[in-house]
Each structure stands twice: as structure tokens, then as C-alpha cells.
Structure 1
Amino acid sequence: MPKGFAPFTYVDLFAGIGGFHAMLDHAGGRCVYVSEIDPEARQTYIRNWVDPLPETHQPIVNTDITIATPDDGPVEVPAHDVLAAGFPCQPFSKSGYQRGMDEARGTLFWNIARILEERTPAVVLLENVRNLAGPRHRHEWDVIIQTLRELGYRVSSTPSVFSPHFLPPSLGGTPQVRDRVFILGTYVGPERAMAEVDVPPTVVRAPVDGWSVQDWDADWILDNDSTIPNLSKYQLTGDETEWINVWDDLVQRMWSARGTRLPGFPLWADAWIPERGLDPIELDALPRWKADFLIKNARFYDEHRDIIDDWKKANRSFAKFPESRRKLEWQAQDTGSLWETVMHLRPSGIRAKAPTYLPALVAITQTSIIGSRRRRLTPHEAARLQGFSRSFSFGDQRDQASYKQVGNGVAVGAAWHVFRTHVEQSAADLPGRLVKAVLSATLSPSGDALSPAAHLHESSMSQGHPVATQRVG
């Protein structure tokens, strides 16, 4: 292969910080065009994916895809083999029987369709939130699928929903539950696309290669505390530490006296009164869910009144906690201590989960607290939860922007798995150079996103000799 030649080219639209770029580069592809409207996300993308390249190999960087895809002018996006886009979901106008490209007009999906119409890349790879495949967005889903078929892309009517925690470490998985919808299409021309509609989804929502999702350990994406600049800004405050310590005291008392952990329903300490003290008329006036919680909390109090009363006497500061910190949702099964869980300080209370896998990174949510570290996840660690390598950098960007960018991003391993699977399934209709490049790339696109302990654990499990995870501090 000539020096500088890439087996395929791609464009990266609504690019965020480069989740698609990471996995397509992994296959040897060359990015020729990138579009991202958010200036801070665009700068993060450029820092990691554009600036390191020789100037002759740097992609065109666009700031607004609508400008490059005018209604009555030429598309400014260059020719390419793969179009990848993590596009926003917008409601389409419901214009009678129209369900195709005409109805997509005026939305950002229409801008993608314009590029597909003009450039006909071999593969289109789209990613969106899980709700796109839900009943509330059935109309939008139908418009998207119909439009792609009108443009000549063979696509499945059934969404491919997948999460990175279903993949083992060797395939690029990470310990994050992040269900996303992937739409994959192969260009076969409008006639075939409209005829070949009985296409199964690219992947199913299930663990791959026998991987057990309970084997994940959140510790595998963490940095050693001694290497984290400004560690103190991620550590818990004195108040936060006290809230957790007091609740953990109840966890320990319950275990010592009853041999059990806390129940899974939300515990509202302000509702701990005898069940006989509940007013049936007031309960009937409440939403059913709230009345159920009040009844469950009253019964919990009746059953464990001796423990709860002693606990309150020993922790008199609890009464002065903010209302939201007098609530706890225990979802950590048999985890031994609150300090061994992954926690979120939510407006609705403290939520504790087992330290196996983490909930989806979301731009607007509270940052996960790693109980064993008594601190929050750093942006650098959050990026690795998305499958980015340890060399990925946010520079001196403010943390709030970094967390937002990661939360809006594409999980590298999940995107690679569905893309590689699609290429393998559609190999007969795709350019041979693209197929060869993708299928010959190593199975994990995530490099050193996980610690060596993750791969050691997977190897030992496959050999039937599980090893204990060695945590780093």
C-alpha cells in the first residue's frame, strides 16, 4: 500500500469529541471532513484528532453542517466511503402520507440525507438515544428508515440497540450501561433498498461471547489518585462525607443485627412512622407510587424500629441533613458498605449501586462518586468509560464542559462492534478495501482505556481460574 494511502475515507458529522473518529481510525480510515457546532467540543476534537496529523492529512473542519448542505446549492462535503453521525433527534412534521425525504426537510437529519443523496457513501452509520426506537418516536423512526431506503440504503426496520457493557474488555467493552440506537445502511441503490426490507438488526441487545456483565469492575477505568492533578477538587466535602458515613452506619447496623442489607425501594427517613399512623384518606389522595413508598417505609420502620431509633440517637446530626440527603436508594445488593458502592447525590436522594458497571454518562446528571476512592469520577476517567485511550486530553478546559462533552459522546467500543458486525454481514456489497481494512483490524479499538487488570480477569475467567482484582489507590 502506498505511503499515505488509506483503505477508506469517512466523514464525521455532529462529531462531538471523536468517538466515531477513534474507531474508524482504528480500522485505518482517513477522516476527510468533520463537523461540530459546539466550539468547546470542536476544540477538544481538533486537539486530539486533527492537530497531531500532518497538514496534508488533516480533515476539513466545519462548524455548521446546515451551511454545507444548502437547499438550492451544491453539497460542500467531499466524497467519502463511510458517513458517521451522532445526529440530534428532532420531531418531524406529520404531513399526511408523506414519510420520506420531503418530510425530513427542515431537520438536521435532512442535512445528512442531502449528503447521502449527493455522495452515496458505501456505508452510513448513525447513532442516537434509546428513545428514538421507542413508541413516542415511531413516526420519526419511520421517516428515517423510509428516507434511507429512498436514497438507496438497505437498512433494517428493527433498531440495533447496544451498550458497551455487553462487550468483554478484549472487544472494546467498558463498564458503562449506555443503551444507544445504531442505524446502519449499505448502499445498494433505491430499487434493491426498497425491495430488500426484510433485514434483521445488525446486533441484538445482549452480552457478546459469553461475557458476564457482573464481572465488570469500575476500578478498571480509574487513574491512580497520585497521578490526578488537583485531586482535592474531586474529593468529597466534609458534609458529603458525613451524609455517607451516617447512612453507612445504618447499613452496618442492619447487617450486624439482621444479617441483611437495606431494601431496594427508596428509603425516606422523614416517612419512618408506624404504619398505623398513616391516614388512609390522605394516602388515597396521593399518586399510587407515592402512597406505596410511604406504606413500604412505614412497614420498614415497624420491622426495624429498634435499630432505626438507636441509629438516630447515635447520629443526631441526621435530622439537620438537607431533605434530599435524608433519602437513600440502595441498589447495591450485597455490597458490604456504602463506601464500596458507586453513588450519585441526586435531588431525589442518595443512590448507591454495586461497583460493577456505571450508569450512562449524561451531560446533565450528577457525576458518579467512587465510594472506595471517596471522590468523583474525573473527566479523564469519564472519557475512558467511553472507550478513549489514556492519552486523550481535554487540555485546560473547564471540567463542566468536559463532563458535558463526554456525556454527549459516542461509546467507541459499542460503535466499533456494530460497525464491524455490519461490514462483515454486508461484505458482498461493500468495497473490498473497506471490508479488508475493517475485518483485519484488531478486535478492540479502545487501546489502553482499561487497566491491565481487566484483561487479566477476562483471561482468567475464560480459563476457569478467576483472579481477585487488585485495586489501585
Structure 2
Amino acid sequence: MFEFVDLFAGVGGFHAALKRLGGTGVQAAEIDRHASAVYQANWGLAPVRDVRTLAADPAALVPEHDVLVGGFPCQPFSKSGRQLGMAEERGTLVHDIVAILAARRPPVIMLENVRNIAGPRQRVVWEAVRSMLRETGYLIADEPLIFSPHLLPPELGGAPQVRERAYILGVYVGRAHAMRETNIEHVLRNEPYGGWDPQNWSLEDHVLLPEQRGDGHRATRLDASEESWINTWNGFLAHIGAEAKLPGFPLWEFEWKARRSTLAGLPDWKADFVRKNHDFYVEHRPQIDAWRRQFPQVSRFPTSRRKFEWQAQNSDRDLWKLLIQFRPSGIRVKRPTYAPALVAMAQTPIFGPRRRRLTPEETARLQGFDPASFTFAGQRPLLSYKQMGNAVNVGTAQFVFAKYVERNEAHIRRAGPGGERVVRAVESHWAPRGLAAPSS
């Protein structure tokens, strides 16, 4: 059995993953009091409030441990944020992680963030993070490992959610070695694993729970406006006809009659969208005009609900059979195989066949938590949705960590008694779950 410290712990995605692999949490840190309460209710460990407090004197405040994990704040690096990286205060929390590592030197580390941390706009940030970890003595690949739960089959901990995340894994080898050995091959590629086909996912089979009566899931219900938006665009699909090809670009209903002269001064990307939408309207003018006569309310919808994006390929053109997401960028429709990434904002997917949003418990299943044991401790659903949008996916974290330990067994054993404990625990806790042991 090995011991781990869980920083930026949320509700315990990393805790669940490492516990399944034989780990015991000895310390956690989480600044959000609601998430902290859920963490304590599930794992029996009360998180301290602020990582910065621990980093001020880690030798005294952080217990010895074998593994350090943390889903450090992603907003400074996310495409949905301002992408200020290290310039934003939350981005500097990486320095606090490094301070703890320098003092305690756990044999293995695993950090998680949005994929964009290694994107073009954050390149300098990623290089700084990588350099700090190497200077502290950790063997770090040139690029973070990118992986998503929908690429794993269910028996290996996968889940029907597209959630590409960057995983930063390292083993303590000392500064000289870490600075010298940098050409490190990842244990996984960002592609379906073991011949799995992600189109085999089914939200109905793998995520949805039996319907409950009463007011228990009031937050999942659609209001009259939301049903009107869906029915109106369903009417559009009916009018346009099954033979008409739906484009890959978003449809902007309010731009369908735009004059070409209005393109002057628009950014190139927007002018291109407007031009494509105008051409689409001209091609289908009779059907679209008939639809507008039947559904005149579309002109009164909020702008974001006058935008429509079809990503359901050759599915039946009935929104009530598909997965729907109300996004700031418009109404997006997908096949009900796997869901888009959960986010902390109010974009919980709507499962058309049941005419409701996913429940908080169902979003927990998307994140790999065990519905038989995980609890939200009676909190408001909106808090639960937010926490699942911020959570580390349990199955992915477990699989990536086990693969990393298997591939780097020699380095980890040489890191000391703690490394030996990590290797032995993963070896003994992986196969008994009825799975094939991770292989290279």
C-alpha cells in the first residue's frame, strides 16, 4: 500500500483512482468549501483549504508520501478562459506544487490539466512547467500525455465522454538525470485503445439510471422555452427534408438573408460563416421560408438559440432521439453514443429520448465515480454539476497511472522504499479487478 497527497482535489477523482490501485490518501487540499465537503463525505479525509499555506512550509505541513497528484487550476490555460497562463495568479500555483516536491520528493507525480496547456498560446507556460519539474529532479516527457476516457473500453475504466486532458507524469531520478534524459516515449497514444471503437458507446446502456418520479431531479427538467427551441429546430429538420445535406459549419438563422454588402469590415472567419449561411439559405429558400412561416417564434429566440450545429452524421433527423447541448455558441446536436466534455458552466447534455438533462448522478458516472458508493452529500444539483465539470476522470486517471508505473517500474523502484510500495500495490490491485494487467 502506498500513500498519496491530493492537491487541488475537487471531489476526489484522483483519490478514487489511486484508492482502486492500493493507495491511501494522507493529505488533500481544496479551496472550494462545497467540493471539500463532498470530498470528506466520500473519502473520510478533510482537505486543508489552501495549497499556498502548505507550500509556505512543506517540510512541516506536508506529510511524507509516495505519490503526489493534482488537477491544478485549468482556467489560466483553458480556451474558455482568458488564457493568461502564468500571468494569472492561479497559474502561479504550479510554483507551490514545485515547492512541495522539492521538500518531500515523492517517487511519482501525476498532474492533470486541459489540453490547451501545451497549445500554441501556452507554449512558454508549458516549457516553464516542464523545466521547473526537471530542475526539481523529475523525469518529464517533452510533451504532456493527452488522453480521453471515450478512447478506453468500459472494462478498462473508459467512459462515454470526450474529455481530452493533459497528464503530466514523472518519477524522481535527481536533477542531473532529469535534465539529461528528455526523449521519453508516452505510455499511451491519443487514440482508441486495444481495438476499441468509441462508436460502440451508448449513453443509454453505460450512463443513464432508471427514471425517478417526484421532485428528486427537478434540475434535469426542460422548461417551456427549451422545449420550444428543440421543437422549432426539429421543425426545421422536417422542412429541409431527409435528402438535404446538412453542412458541417454552424447554421446562423439570423444571417440567412444577409446581403453580401454587409460582409465589409467583418473578421475573415465571420465573413466566411455569413457567406456560407447565405448560400445555404439560397439553396433551400422554399423550405426555409415555409419553416419560418410555421415557426415565426424563431426570430424572438436568444441569438445563441438561433444558431444550430448538426454533428449527428447520418442519424435520424429527430432531435428527441439525439444528444442536445445548449452552448453559448449555439445548439449542438450529436449521436447519443458518447457525450461532449462536461464543463463547470451550465451546459449539461440533454438526452433526447428521455427529454431531460443528465442527472448529477449520471454525470458522476461519466466521470467514472461508482454510483453505488459516491455521494454528493445532499447538496444543490447546480453545485454537483459544477464539480463534475471540474473533476478528474477516475477511469482515465487510474489507467494512465497504472500504465505509467508498469512502463517505468525500474526507475520507480530505484526512487526508494516509496517507489517499491507503489509498484507492488499497482501490480497487486490491477489484475484482481478482472482486467488484463497493463502492458506496453
| Residues 321 and 147 of structure 1, relative CA distance in 2, 3 Å threshold | closer
| Residues 161 and 235 of structure 1, relative CA distance in 2, 3 Å threshold | same
Is structure 2 residue 351 aligned with structure 1 residue 370?
yes
1:24-173 alignment runs, 5 A limit? 24-50=18-44, 59=45, 61-70=47-56, 74-88=59-73, 91-92=85-86, 107-173=92-158
Distance in 2, matches of 1:333 and 1:253, equals 18
1:296-307 alignment runs, 5 A limit? 296-307=276-287
What residue number does 1:255 align with? 241
1:295 pairs, out of 233, 254, 275, with 275
TM-score (norm 2): 0.88
Q: Offset of 1:110 from its aligned partner? A: 1.9
Residue type at the aligned position of 1:11? V
Point out where structure 1 has 5 or more consecutive residues left out of the alignment.
1-6, 51-58, 94-103, 448-454, 456-473
What residue number does 1:441 align with? 429
| Residues 189 and 325 of structure 1, relative CA distance in 2, 3 Å threshold | closer
Residues 394-449 of structure 1, C-alpha deviation per residue, up to 9 Å, x if partnerless? 1221122111111111011111121111100111122333212213324698x9xx
1:325 pairs, out of 290, 305, 316, with 305
Distance in 2, matches of 1:105 and 1:345, equals 28
2:187 pairs, out of 185, 192, 202, with 202
Q: Offset of 1:226 from its aligned partner? A: 2.4
Check the 8 A contact 1:413/1:444 in 2, yes or no: no
1:199-278 alignment runs, 5 A limit? 199-219=184-204, 220-226=206-212, 230-256=216-242, 259-260=243-244, 262-273=246-257, 278=259
Distance in 2, matches of 1:158 and 1:322, equals 41
Distance in 1, matches of 2:344 and 2:379, equals 16
Check the 8 A contact 2:255/2:277 in 1, yes or no: yes
SS in 1 for 2:221: coil
Q: Which deviates the most, 224-233 or 36-45? A: 224-233
| Residues 227 and 28 of structure 1, relative CA distance in 2, 3 Å threshold | farther
Q: Which deviates the most, 340-349 or 115-124? A: 340-349
| Residues 200 and 303 of structure 1, relative CA distance in 2, 3 Å threshold | same
Distance in 2, matches of 1:27 and 1:78, equals 20
Q: Offset of 1:261 from its aligned partner? A: 5.1
| Residues 105 and 366 of structure 1, relative CA distance in 2, 3 Å threshold | closer
TM-score (norm 1): 0.82
1:406-425 alignment runs, 5 A limit? 406-425=388-407
What residue number does 2:327 align with? 346
Distance in 2, matches of 1:130 and 1:387, equals 19
SS in 1 for 2:4: strand
SS in 2 for 1:148: helix
| Residues 384 and 195 of structure 1, relative CA distance in 2, 3 Å threshold | same
What residue number does 1:463 align with? none
Check the 8 A contact 1:75/1:115 in 2, yes or no: no
Distance in 1, matches of 2:34 and 2:345, equals 16
What residue number does 2:438 align with? none
Say what the alpha-carbon RMSD is for the aligned residues. Answer: 2.6
Residue type at the aligned position of 1:267? L
Residues 189-210 of structure 1, C-alpha deviation per residue, up to 9 Å, x if partnerless? 2222222222123322111101
SS in 1 for 2:309: strand
Distance in 1, matches of 2:218 and 2:96, equals 45
Q: Offset of 1:228 from its aligned partner? A: 7.8
What residue number does 1:450 align with? none
Check the 8 A contact 2:38/2:375 in 1, yes or no: yes
Residues 87-133 of structure 1, C-alpha deviation per residue, up to 9 Å, x if partnerless? 1256447xxxxxxxxxx999322221122112211101111111111
Q: Offset of 1:309 from its aligned partner? A: 2.3
Is structure 2 residue 14 aligned with structure 1 residue 20?
yes
Residues 354-403 of structure 1, C-alpha deviation per residue, up to 9 Å, x if partnerless? 21211111112422111111111221111111110113111221122111
Q: Which deviates the most, 348-357 or 313-322? A: 313-322
Q: Which deviates the most, 195-204 or 26-35? A: 195-204
Distance in 2, matches of 1:270 and 1:61, equals 49
| Residues 136 and 14 of structure 1, relative CA distance in 2, 3 Å threshold | same
Point out where structure 2 has 5 or more consecutive residues left out of the alignment.
77-84, 413-418, 436-440
Distance in 1, matches of 2:276 and 2:91, equals 50
1:392-407 alignment runs, 5 A limit? 392-407=374-389
Check the 8 A contact 2:54/2:100 in 1, yes or no: no
| Residues 156 and 227 of structure 1, relative CA distance in 2, 3 Å threshold | farther
Residue type at the aligned position of 1:62? V
Q: Offset of 1:139 from its aligned partner? A: 2.0
| Residues 151 and 289 of structure 1, relative CA distance in 2, 3 Å threshold | closer
Residues 293-351 of structure 1, C-alpha deviation per residue, up to 9 Å, x if partnerless? 22222222222222222222333433443333232111111121111221122333222
SS in 2 for 1:107: helix
Instruction: Tell me the matched-pair count.
Output: 417
